[in-house]
Each structure stands twice: as C-alpha cells, then as structure tokens.
Amino acid sequence: MLPTEDRQPTRPDASAAMQRSIILSHIFLKALATPPPELLARFTKEEDRKQISSGLQKHVDQQIEKLRAAGLWELLEDAEREFMQTGPFETTMRQRIDAGWLAESIMCLFWALGRREEILPYDQEADPRSNWLHKDEKTRDLFREAVFRPEAEIDRQRELAELWHWRCRTQTLLATGKIPDTLPNGTKMAEVIRLAADKAAEWNVLAQPIENDFPAFGKPFRDVSEEELSRLTSIAMERHKAFNWLCGYAEGNRWSETPTDT
C-alpha cells in the first residue's frame, strides 16, 4: 500500500541505503556464481556434486563473513539469509532469476547515493560491473560518509520508474484482453498512452515518443515482442521497487514489503 494522508512515508537514511545496496550486491553475486539448474542436473555422480557444492560454498562463506564483519548479516531479511545459505543444487531457478534482476535495484541505490552518474534508459539493462565497490573502500566508512542526492531528484526518478511500470502493465493487460482498447467512457487507451508519453517528454523525464507511444528498443512500445515486454517489465519493476523504498513507501523500511503499485 502506498502512503496516505494518515501514514506519511519515512525515508531510510543514506547509511541505511548504503547498507541495503551492499546486502543486495552480495545476494546478486551469489546468484551470479550459482550455475543454472539445467547445468547442475548434468552432474549425476555424488562425488562431482559434492565437489561443486564445496567449491561454491567456500565462495559464499567468504561473502557471508564479509557481511558479518560489516555488521550486515543480521540486517538481511529471513528469505535473503535462506538464499545465501542454500546450496547450489537446492537453489531454484526462480531464486536465481529474482536475485539476478537485483542489478537494477543496486544501480538505483548507488545513483541515489551519488555513486553513479545516471540511470540507464528503461530499455537497457544495468551493467553489473558498474555496481562494484572499490576494493580499497572500507565498508563502515561507506556507511558513515553516505550522502543522498537531493530528494527532488530521487522523487523525479521514482515517478519515472512508476510511469514505465504502468506502461508495462498496461501493455500486458491490453495484450491479454483484461482491459479494452476503448474504456467505458469512450476514451481510447491509445489516447491515454499518447497523453502520458507527451506529458513525460514535456517534463523531460522521457525521450521523445515514437508514433505517440513510449520509445522502447527504437520502436513504439506497443510493437515490442513478448520477450522484450518481459525484459522491460523486469527492469521497470526492480527500479520502481528501489525508488519506492528510497522514498519510504515500505512498511518499516523492509525491502521485501516495498509496494510497486501503479
């Protein structure tokens, strides 16, 4: 549920955002290091499975130790600790996929903390290599020295993420027939989308529309393929979640409880 007049958002401070970004980075690295289930399924000998599990577990144990040393392990949510402690052969594809998309959230958090210059366009996936911390940076110093960009800039990015997420969901609903092309009052959805795209471009939060629609992969959003729509939705949802969390929309600032309503 988004904030109401009765419950105004309580934003996490910059130190908490830096802590959350580092936690998400470790979870992402665990997903990156875990081979997909179809590859692991090829190892049928118990000896091979034990060797693979042992090697990967050493890597994860090092990550967990870094989290403990930084005082972050206890800040992980239950599902996050469970994921970090789950062996490669027990990790599901759903867990890997969800953790893999965290690169988008990490990018947004680092941007809000001034560690990235820009948020990539919504038809471009975040480059995980841009999210790494420098090896010589001390984690506790990062917490103490963390500073946010101005709130107005973060709020503007939150609105853009919500707008893109809305367009993704609208496209899905139109494609599945769950909303009609023409609304009961006679307004066509194409006109609603055109007005949204034009207004966003006017506010300089969206590139110029293509054929009265949001620009995606160099074409009108309505022409994207099913696979492209899935990618766009994942990008928008993760960024929307990150910015809603930064703006205090999560109950108790709990990451897993961040709403992404549109």
- In this model, does residue 5 exceed pLDDT 50? no
Long-range contacts of 82-86, Cβ-Cβ distance < 8 Å, separation of 24 or more:
83/27, 83/30, 84/26, 84/27, 84/30, 84/60, 85/60
- H-run or E-run covering 216: strand 215-216
d(CA 136, CA 64): 19
* Range 182-196 average pLDDT: 93
For 32-61, the pLDDT digits (tens) are 888 777 776 777 787 777 777 777 878 888
pLDDT at position 136 is 58
Question: Which one is predicted more confidently, 209 or 131?
Answer: 209
The crossing angle, in degrees rounded to 10, of helices 14-33 and 93-100 is: 140
Contact 59, 35 (CB under 8 A): no
- In this model, does residue 207 exceed pLDDT 50? yes
For 117-163, the pLDDT digits (tens) are 999 999 999 988 766 665 656 777 888 889 999 999 999 999 999 99
Length of the chain: 262
Q: What are residue 182's DSSP bridge partners?
A: 188
d(CA 65, CA 73): 8
Q: Is 252 left (phi over 0), alpha (psi -120 to 50) or beta?
A: left
Phi first, then psi, for residue 215 (nearest 5°) are -80, 125
pTM metric for this prediction: 0.89
For 6-42, the pLDDT digits (tens) are 556 789 999 999 999 999 999 998 888 887 777 767 7
d(CA 214, CA 138): 42
- Written as one letter, the residue type at 104 is E
For 61-118, the pLDDT digits (tens) are 888 999 999 999 999 999 999 999 888 778 888 888 899 899 999 999 999 999 999 9
d(CA 96, CA 98): 6
Question: Which one is predicted more confidently, 204 or 135?
Answer: 204
Q: How confident is the model at residue 217 (pLDDT cuts 50, 70, 90)?
A: very high
pLDDT at position 149 is 97
pLDDT at position 1 is 43
What sign does the dihedral 208-214-216-220 (CA atoms) show? negative
Burial class (CB within 10 angstroms; exposed 0-12, middle 13-18, buried 19+) of 90? exposed
Phi first, then psi, for residue 12 (nearest 5°) are -70, 150
Task: Tell me the pLDDT of the chain averaged across its residues.
Answer: 89
- In this model, does residue 3 exceed pLDDT 60? no
pLDDT at position 143 is 87
Contact 250, 158 (CB under 8 A): no
Nearest residue to 148 via CA among 106, 110, 118, 119: 110
d(CA 197, CA 209): 6
